[in-house]
Amino acid sequence: MPSKDPIQRFTDILENIVRIEEFTAGMDVSAFVGDPKTYDAVERCLERISEAASKLGPQAEELCPGIPWPQIRGVGNRLRHEYDRISGPRIWVMVERDLAPLKGAVQTALSHLLAKEGAG
């Protein structure tokens, strides 16, 4: 069942992206892979992003078209169940390549929802 509060779920996604950005600021892939605390923190934030995306259900696709929501939802399961097959460099690619477009789309969706809520 989709979340009754998409604003909260999108806020959760945005907050976890910002945390990842803060945790990894100034790092490259070698520093990231060599820092177990940061690595684990980023994995946990990615799990939260995945869970929030799952709770959004079809609202995610409606409000943020063009974002690969099935893959975002799936990354949490992969991190939990296939953790031994996911490489640090692959997580780094997600951080470097995939989070910026997601962040922009989520910010746009949040602005739209908040404006709609204010008008209602």
In a domain, 120, yes or no: no
Give the global pTM: 0.93
In a domain, 1, yes or no: no
Count up the domains in the chain and report the number. Answer: 1
Q: Which domain holds residue 15?
A: 6-115
**What residues contact residue 47 under an 8 Å CB cut-off, 6+ apart?**
75, 76, 79, 80
In a domain, 41, yes or no: yes
In a domain, 50, yes or no: yes
Confidence class for position 120, pLDDT limits 50, 70, 90? low
Query: For residue 57, what pLDDT is reported?
Result: 93
66-74: average pLDDT: 96
pLDDT digits (tens, 9 = 90+) for 48-62: 999 999 999 999 999
